[in-house]
């Protein structure tokens, strides 16, 4: 195993960490953002819609771009731009400028999300064994850090602007340095470029649908659990900010063991169990009599939903000859869920109550379990060994 390959693995993991840190920092401070600009719950939903649309716009174009330039080039550009976008969100003084900054942040992040998953898939295939859950564990580390740092910032009296700007300014140079570690992918042949334009195999769309449901759950928890704990259960803001990092701790635990569980039980079995667990524990959150019980249940929701997106992305990456376009397709479908979920919750909560609106999370868990049963028992192209990615690393060494 070459030094370049190990460096690419660590670089990919750290990219997930920083992505989780930046997005998590914005989400855990949403209550402070509502106070800063006097936003209603429906307006928070609109802001999240703009962020999601920005991400989705770039994701929808990634199939062709990934086929042509590869994940390394996109990450070298998108990583620093994401940090700059977050800085714009921190400094926006009013709602119109905030919407512009959030859109740019979402567009840059959409590029990074697809590219870092394609990079993770390339590294995974070069290693010849499942690694994607471990990559996504890096996201959890970043999100947990965002929640912990957010709680400390609240306790120290740091406003939204200072907290978010500091994270952006720290992330910017690190993203630039990580650009040197990414795996050099082989240039796309003409057939590969055409693959970015044609329809994917049906399993890619099924995986994208499952990811759509899972990301609706993740987006709902990330964007609304803080307000739910504060407004429905009466938790102080510092306690309400802990719901998301506790959720991410559960995700981290599951993802650290997910690759080994995949080898033993397969994707189909894991997705079915994950969907049932997500539905059950989300119901516990909604029925919780106190904030302490709800925060504790968030851990188990995270445990249930954690492996769904890395499993679907990893499997999508083996469904075609090159992982990038298939991952871009599944990722775009997934982020449509991330886009739709928080918006639906926002408008449903205005029409009913936030607790009632969050019942969507229970339904999503059930749908994940049912959709998982439609996957084939045997994973397609499951042999990870072969690999153009490994050949590219060795050629560059």
Judge whether 8 and 183 are in contact, CB under 8 Å: yes
pLDDT band at 41 (very low <50, low <70, confident <90, very high): low
pLDDT tens per residue across span 236-280: 877 887 887 888 789 889 988 888 888 788 778 889 999 999 999
Architecture of domain 1-179: Up-down Bundle (1.20)
Residue 134: pLDDT band by 50, 70, 90 thresholds?
confident
- The full set of domain ranges for the chain reads 1-179, 199-376
320/295 Cα distance (integer angstroms): 40
pLDDT at 6 over 70: yes
| CATH for 199-376 (3.40.50.2000, 3.50.50.60, 2.60.120.460, 1.20.1250.20) | 1.20.1250.20
Confidence label for 1 from pLDDT (cuts 50, 70 and 90): low
Q: Can you give the pTM of this predicted structure? A: 0.75
Checking if the pLDDT of 193 tops 60, the result is no
Does the structure show a pLDDT above 50 at 139?
Answer: yes
**Does residue 81 contact residue 44 with C-beta atoms inside 8 Å?**
no
Buried b (16+ CB within 10 A) or exposed e, 40-77: ebeebbbbbbbbbbbbbebbbbbbbbbbebbbbbbbbe
pLDDT tens-digit series, residues 68-98: 788 888 999 999 999 999 999 999 888 889 9
Could you check whether 1-179 and 199-376 share the same CATH topology? Answer: yes
Kindly tell me the burial class for residue 38, based on how many C-beta atoms sit within 10 Å of its own C-beta (0-12, 13-18, 19 or more). Answer: exposed
Angle at the Cα of 126 from the Cα atoms of 120 and 129, rounded to 5 degrees: 80
- Residues 353-375 have a mean pLDDT of 90
Residue 148 buriedness (CB in 10 A; 0-12 / 13-18 / 19+): middle
> What confidence score (pLDDT) does residue 87 get?
95
Q: What is the pLDDT of residues 365-382, one digit of tens each?
A: 999 999 988 887 766 544
Mean per-residue pLDDT of the chain: 83
First to last CA, the chain: 11
pLDDT in tens, 148-192: 898 888 888 888 899 999 999 999 999 999 998 998 765 444 344
Structure tokens at 394: 């060795």
Mean pLDDT, residues 132-154:
86
């Amino acid at each position: 195993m070459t030094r370049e390959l190990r460096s690419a693995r660590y670089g990919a993991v750290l990219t997930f960490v920083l992505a989780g840190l930046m997005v998590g920092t914005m989400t855990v401070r949403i209550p402070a953002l509502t106070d800063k600009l006097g936003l209603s719950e429906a307006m928070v939903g609109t802001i999240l819609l703009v962020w999601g649309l920005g991400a989705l716009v770039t994701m929808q174009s990634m199939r062709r771009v990934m086929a042509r330039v590869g994940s390394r080039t996109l990450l070298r550009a998108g990583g620093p731009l994401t940090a700059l976008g977050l800085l714009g969100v921190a400094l926006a003084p009013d709602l119109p400028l905030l919407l512009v900054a959030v859109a740019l942040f979402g567009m840059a992040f959409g590029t990074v999300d697809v590219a870092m998953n394609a990079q993770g898939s390339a590294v995974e295939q070069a290693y010849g064994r499942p690694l994607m859950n471990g990559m996504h564990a890096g996201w959890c580390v970043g999100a947990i850090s965002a929640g912990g740092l957010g709680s400390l910032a609240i306790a120290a009296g740091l406003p939204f602007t200072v907290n978010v700007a500091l994270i952006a300014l720290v992330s910017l140079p690190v993203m630039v340095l990580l650009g040197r570690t990414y795996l050099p992918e082989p240039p796309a042949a003409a057939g590969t470029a055409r693959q970015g334009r044609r329809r994917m195999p049906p399993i890619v769309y099924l995986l994208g649908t499952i990811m759509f449901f899972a990301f609706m759950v993740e987006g709902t928890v990330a964007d609304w659990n803080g307000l739910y704990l504060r407004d429905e259960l009466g938790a102080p803001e510092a306690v309400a900010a802990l719901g998301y990092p506790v959720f991410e701790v559960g995700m981290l635990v599951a993802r650290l063991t997910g690759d080994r569980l995949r080898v033993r039980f397969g994707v189909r079995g894991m997705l079915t169990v994950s969907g049932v667990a997500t539905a059950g524990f989300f119901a516990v959150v909604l029925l919780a009599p106190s904030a302490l019980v709800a925060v504790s249940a968030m851990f188990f929701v995270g445990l249930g939903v954690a492996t769904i997106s890395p499993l679907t992305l990893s499997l999508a990456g083996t469904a075609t000859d090159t992982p990038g376009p298939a991952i871009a397709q599944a990722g775009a479908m997934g982020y449509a869920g991330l886009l739709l979920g928080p918006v639906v919750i926002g408008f449903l909560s205005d029409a009913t109550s936030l607790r009632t609106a969050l019942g969507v999370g229970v339904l999503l868990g059930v749908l994940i379990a049912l959709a998982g049963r439609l996957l084939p028992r045997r994973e397609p192209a499951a042999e990870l060994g072969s690999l153009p990615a490994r050949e590219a690393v060795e050629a560059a060494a």
